[in-house]
Structure 1
Amino acid sequence: MKKSTHIKLTCLFVLATALVKAQNVTNVKLTNPDDAPIISKHIYGHFAEHLGRCIYGGFYVGEDSDIPNTNGVRNDVIKALKELKVPNLRWPGGCFADTYHWRDGIGPKEDRPEMVNRWWGGVTEDNSFGTHDFLNLCEVLEAEPYLAANVGSSTVQEFTEYIQYVTHPDGSPMADLRKKNGREKPWSIGFWGVGNEMWGCGGNMTPEYYANIYRQYATFMSDWTNSHGMYRVASGANVADYHWTEVLMREIPKSLIEGVALHSYSFVTWSKKGSATGFNEAQYFSTMETALKMDELIKKHTEIMDKYDPEHKVDLIVDEWGGWYEVEEGTNPGFLYQQNTMRDAMIAGTTLNIFNNWAHRVKMANLAQTINVLQAVILTEDEKMLLTPTYHVMKMYNVHHDAKLLPVEFESPKYEFEGKSLPSISISASKDKNNVVHISLVNIDASKENTVELDVEALGFKKAEGQILVSKKLQDHNTFDNPKNIVPELFKDFKIKKGKLSVTLPPFSVVVLESK
């Protein structure tokens, strides 16, 4: 071969390699419009239902427990949730809410009646964790209470007396009862859910019937503290039931509603959810397919809301979301106890990015659930406790709380599997009150790394530091014997040059970058 030919071929090879590499880089445009919405911290809310070992054995071990506690609530749980900066906590359900009668959970614990939890395992509960316990816990956590009130098996009178009990300052029968039970001042209640899943366990109602029931209950709701007004959330649609949202938005006067809910879970298939840890790539791909559908759900429900509420007076509240799999072997099927892997980190990262990017309409969301149930952030076993990959993602992302959204535009590369494809990259960004920029990135591809290049020159992004959550296998998880198998690490695989931030994301990883 002639020398000149060899040089030409070498040059062509180098050029081809450079072109391929360029094609593998995803270019991302960040903007900073003056009218961009604030990402509400309440998007990062949590959910604590009387289900399995979420309350009893999770949060609450009782005042006499050998496990260190404050008024019966585990100290290690309190510490972990305070570090997570939990903005709001939803209680007591879920399906449990529409069978719960609040008077059973007040007064001396030894005098409280027992009840059967008909929805979750048929176990008998002693009501030792009630309203005072929950609202006092929220004060300790500095979290807004989100009370899901009983509409399915209660009355308007019982509901309004509950509101009076917790919020009326004095001079009323319910305020006097609260004081008798040891609480002088009323609590400040952030949010009220007017029933739960009224299309299912809340009563199998039609949307037309529930809309009228809602109007009745909402009419009699009064916030006696007058601290920030009554925030009423209607029981919203199940996944893609757009007719439900249509009816509620059409039939409920805007003077009676502040939020409408949406519930959607991620799974392999509803009938065969598969193992939380023993899944294959096909099951992983299917789960991520349902998780990423959240963007479409919000878009279509929002379009309906915009038609009836162009001024955006009513918020979309995704108060149940997360991964749902088969329970761990040997556990009560009614307790919904499952492990938490890097797959769940992918669900958390992508879903939170979706919520952030819909911040103009999504104002609150609640991961299901906090401890020992579904996609939990904490697992407990007697005196032991561990933090899950989902916990670490939510903690990495809490930099977005109440920060201004920086909209992103890009065309994601594809994660391809068996002839199907999904967008592999998910991104959201914000600027906080100190003008610090945070960018959260997720690569869901099970085997390929992806490089993204962000134009950050206009944002004054000169230096950065980062964290990454990643592991060797999608099935990796934390155990009580190895609780720090998966933890955030320092991330350095990025560079900033001439206003361009180039980031290389390993397979199934979550990265958060901060400007310096």
Structure 2
Amino acid sequence: MIIQAVINVDLDGPRINRHVYGHFAEHLGRCVYGGFYVGEDSDIPHEGGIRLDVVDALRALDIPNLRWPGGCFADEYHWRDGIGPKDERPVMVNTHWGGVEENNHFGTHEFMALCELLGAEPYISGNVGSGTVREMSEWVEYLTRAGDSPMARLRAANGRSEPWPVRFWGLGNEAWGCGGNMTAEHYAQEARRYGTYCRDYGDNQLYKIAAGANADDYAWTESLMKQLGHLGCQHVRSTAFHAVSVHYYTVTGPTWEEKGSATVFDTGEYYTTMAAAARIEQLLAGHTAVLDCYDPNKSVGLVLDEWGTWFDVARGTNPGFLYQQNTLRDALVASVHFDVFHRHADRLVMANIAQTVNVLQAMILTDPDSKAMVLTPTYHVFRMNRGHQDATALRVDFRTALPSRPVGDATLTTVSMSASRKDGRLLVSLSNLDATAAADVEIDLRGGTAGDVAAVILTAVALQDHNTPQAPAVVAPRAYDGVTVDGGTLRVHLPAHAFVTVSAGL
């Protein structure tokens, strides 16, 4: 059977915000120390202690933003501990992640230097759980205010006379859990209070993001929206915050303590993982429905600032460091997520994969022994899809039923697709989630004809395949010839367990 699809290439959809390709770096395991930051005495090439091969690899993704310092760590982090001479910075205990000592050598100035090297916008998550309103307000002033003020003078004393542009601010993190164990109603009031005292200075206009729900807790989202306006109103009255976040991890083990191996799994476990990943469609639709009730003009953004797979830590590693390998299965989890993000481009303004280096579903793994850097299969999905950033989303309609299979109580659709247009080129992303069966897709490009077609495929012999320092290209993209074009018809052969992108001139 041939799957028939239609894309009206001349009918504009919403813009896909480049920030849905955002990243997340927490003081957790080897994400910051040993990942991004190797220190000024390292023999690994660096600039001010920031590892340059990691920077170069992420710049190739057109990384739009980086969220920091957490995560749960954000709500025990006090920013003044991370400024000034490194040998004078106090040591703290990272109680959330392994109980290790944090020397605060990577702080505000180091993070901003990293963002400048990356060409990425900083997204700072403030401390609501154990901090104060004044503390966060002064951090905003320290970073963004020019001229003469107490925090501007302190910044200058630490070597930076000019302010930085910092738009994105998180008002805490997971306030329902590690960020304070608050009720939705209590946190909604705290978000208004903290947001009120986070000021705009000069041309720097803050975009404040309220700490949102865990997965399908739609009541949490509604409590936040009640603080901004009335049901059905066309105008949101408050500017205490501009977006609401949600967190969702693809977790498939029988218990939280037994999430399953990142590399040793059977086909049944693979399908369970893919069904859990596909649930993100339902969750974004649910939170969007709540936002639409209170904000039908869509002035409030939805932010998925933690997503990704979460398996058991690699054997022999610190359980608190959340280090896991990254297989072709993880890559297909990412590709499915991005298709959903593109479909929700009218409301979803940002997403941040957890996490960028050495933690959970990472882009990059660094080996402490060989000092090698490894690009993961998930990294390659980000790179293959980077043309969707700030592109015009194009609706994909299917004229035939999509293949599917039962997975527990759910039904998993095994072919996923999204498309966009930018700078006179079409980009189509296609995933075949079937572990064994290929699929053929015929796409009617209405309103245009395609030329100068180029395709790339990401697949592997086995679902469990992954990259290591000894074999860094087991799962790597390559040019693909399984695509043909005939005027306004694009035909794509999708091998089993494969991700394909097709770029064409219009």
TM-score for both structures, normalised by structure 2: 0.95
Q: Does 1:422 align with 2:432?
A: no
Q: 1:246 to 1:329 in 2, by over 3 A?
A: same
Q: Give yes or no for contact 1:325–1:374 (8 Å, CA) kept in 2.
A: yes
Choose the corresponding residue for 2:211, options 215, 220, 235.
235
* Secondary structure of the corresponding residue to residue 351 of structure 1: helix
Residue matched to 2:243: 259
| Partner AA of 1:231 in structure 2 | Y
Q: How many Å apart are 1:462 and its aligned residue?
A: 3.2
Q: How many Å apart are 1:486 and its aligned residue?
A: 1.2
Q: Does 1:375 align with 2:361?
A: yes
Residue matched to 1:60: 37
Corresponding pairs, count: 491
Distance in 2 (CA, whole Å) between partners of 1:62 and 1:419 is 49
* Secondary structure of the corresponding residue to residue 392 of structure 1: helix
Residue matched to 1:172: 149
Q: How many Å apart are 1:32 and its aligned residue?
A: 4.1
Residue matched to 2:233: none
Q: How many Å apart are 1:512 and its aligned residue?
A: 0.5
Q: 1:206 to 1:326 in 2, by over 3 A?
A: same
Task: Output the aligned Cα RMSD.
Answer: 1.3
Q: Give yes or no for contact 2:8–2:446 (8 Å, CA) kept in 1.
A: no
Distance in 1 (CA, whole Å) between partners of 2:238 and 2:10 is 29
Q: Does 1:386 align with 2:363?
A: no
Distance in 2 (CA, whole Å) between partners of 1:309 and 1:441 is 33
* Secondary structure of the corresponding residue to residue 379 of structure 1: strand
Cα deviation, 1:96-154, whole Å, max 9, x if unaligned, reads: 00000000000000000000000000000100000000011101111000000000001
Residue matched to 1:436: 425
Q: 1:254 to 1:33 in 2, by over 3 A?
A: farther
Residue matched to 2:384: 396
Distance in 1 (CA, whole Å) between partners of 2:290 and 2:143 is 35
Deviating more after overlay: 248-257 vs 155-164 = 248-257
Q: How many Å apart are 1:88 and its aligned residue?
A: 0.1
Residue matched to 2:333: 347
Q: Does 1:86 align with 2:63?
A: yes
- Say which structure is richer in helix: 1
Q: How many Å apart are 1:283 and its aligned residue?
A: 1.1
* Secondary structure of the corresponding residue to residue 321 of structure 1: strand
Choose the corresponding residue for 1:511, options 491, 500, 503.
500
* Secondary structure of the corresponding residue to residue 20 of structure 2: helix
Q: Does 1:40 align with 2:17?
A: yes
| Partner AA of 2:387 in structure 1 | V
Q: 1:468 to 1:66 in 2, by over 3 A?
A: same
Q: How many Å apart are 1:250 and its aligned residue?
A: 1.2
TM-score for both structures, normalised by structure 1: 0.93
Q: Give yes or no for contact 1:254–1:313 (8 Å, CA) kept in 2.
A: no
Q: How many Å apart are 1:170 and its aligned residue?
A: 1.9
Cα deviation, 1:205-264, whole Å, max 9, x if unaligned, reads: 11100000111111111121323x110000001000010011111123542221100100
Q: Give yes or no for contact 2:11–2:394 (8 Å, CA) kept in 1.
A: no
Distance in 2 (CA, whole Å) between partners of 1:419 and 1:211 is 35
* Secondary structure of the corresponding residue to residue 352 of structure 2: strand
Q: Give yes or no for contact 1:258–1:315 (8 Å, CA) kept in 2.
A: yes
Q: Does 1:323 align with 2:309?
A: yes
Residue matched to 1:304: 290
Uncovered stretches (5+) of structure 2, i.e. residues with no partner: 229-236
Distance in 1 (CA, whole Å) between partners of 2:386 and 2:409 is 36
Q: Does 1:248 align with 2:229?
A: no
Q: Does 1:469 align with 2:458?
A: yes
Deviating more after overlay: 206-215 vs 410-419 = 410-419
Choose the corresponding residue for 2:471, options 482, 486, 489.
482
Counterparts of 1:4-83 in structure 2, within 5 Å, are 24-32=1-9, 34=11, 36-83=13-60
Q: Percent identity?
A: 49
Q: How many Å apart are 1:159 and its aligned residue?
A: 0.7
Deviating more after overlay: 289-298 vs 31-40 = 31-40
Distance in 1 (CA, whole Å) between partners of 2:149 and 2:167 is 21
